[in-house]
Amino acid sequence: QVQLADSGGGFVQAGGSLGLSCVASGRTYAMSWFRQAPGKEREFVAGIRRSTYITKYGDSVKGRFTITRDDAKNAVYLQMNSLKPEDTAVYYCAAISRTPDILPIYRLAYDYWGQGTQVTVSS
């Protein structure tokens, strides 16, 4: 069983920046960030594969968000720049631990989830 501890959310004005962190208690393969706004489905934000560091981004965050990871620390990070009010959501870290060499955007593919951290962007 792997536990994910995500943190770093907060309140920021539009155009500002925030960074999120997630640390896994064990080894994982792909790690990603999802987000869920009130009344909406949980959506893929960004993901990164272990070792190759191949990344994938959701269309709404391309060019503004950057995902990185530190395999030695079993950690993944999300740097969010040029934030917009529509980025307001609870952000969840997710990880795959059983299947290497994939980077899915579908939530059902992920084995473990963090508790979520709130990001609020004011206009």
pLDDT(101) > 90: no
CA-CA-CA-CA torsion for 66, 70, 75, 78, nearest 10 degrees? -10
Per-residue pLDDT, 118: 98
Residues 25-81 have pLDDT tens digits of: 999 999 999 999 999 999 999 999 999 999 999 999 999 999 999 999 999 999 999
**Residue 114 confidence class, pLDDT cut points 50, 70, 90:** very high
Closest CA to 102 of 52, 27, 39, 44: 52
Q: Where are the beta strands (DSSP E) in the chain?
A: 4-7, 10-13, 18-24, 31-36, 43-48, 55-57, 65-70, 75-80, 89-95, 112-113, 117-122
Residues 7-18 have pLDDT tens digits of: 999 999 999 999
Query: Quick one: how far is CA 39 from the chain centroid?
Result: 19
Per-residue pLDDT, 67: 98
Mean pLDDT for 110-117 is 97
Instruction: Report the DSSP pairing between strands 10-13 and 117-122.
Output: parallel
65-70 β-sheet, strand order? 4-7, 18-24, 75-80, 65-70
d(CA 87, CA 7): 16
Per-residue pLDDT, 43: 97
Instruction: Report the DSSP pairing between strands 55-57 and 65-70.
Output: unpaired
Token pair of 71, please? 């395999």
Query: Quick one: how far is CA 66 from the chain centroid?
Result: 10
Mean pLDDT for 91-99 is 95
The mean pLDDT value of the chain amounts to 96
